[in-house]
Amino acid sequence: MYLNGQMIFDDCHFLEHMAADVPIQVYRGTIHKDIGFIEYYGKEFVKVNSILYSRKQFTFISRPGY
């Protein structure tokens, strides 16, 4: 599926991670902000651990096997 550390950004990436319960890590620049499972995603936001993260302001990284 995805490699550990691979950046995810397309809707299909978020859908696949959500459907397969693959965790993601959330960064703002180089600063780690959160890690967890996608609860929701839309055009503007990704929801992880009940927090909405802007797709424009944050980077999302695949963490399979975490």
Residue range 6-62 forms a domain whose CATH class is mainly beta
Question: What integer pLDDT is reported at residue 64 of this predicted model?
Answer: 83
Query: What are the beta bridge partners of residue 47?
Result: 40, 52
For 1-66, where are the E strands, in sequence order? 7-8, 24-28, 31-36, 38-41, 45-48, 51-54, 59-62
Q: What is the pLDDT along the chain (66 residues), one digit of tens a residue?
A: 677 888 999 999 999 999 999 999 999 999 999 999 999 999 999 999 999 999 999 999 999 877
- Contact in structure between 32 and 25 (CB atoms under 8 Å): yes
Tokens at 12, concatenated: 């299909």
Question: What integer pLDDT is reported at residue 42 of this predicted model?
Answer: 96
Sorted by where each begins, the domain ranges of the chain are 6-62
Beta-carbon contacts of 47 under 8 Å, excluding residues fewer than 6 positions away, are: 38, 39, 40, 41, 53
pTM over cut 0.95 = no
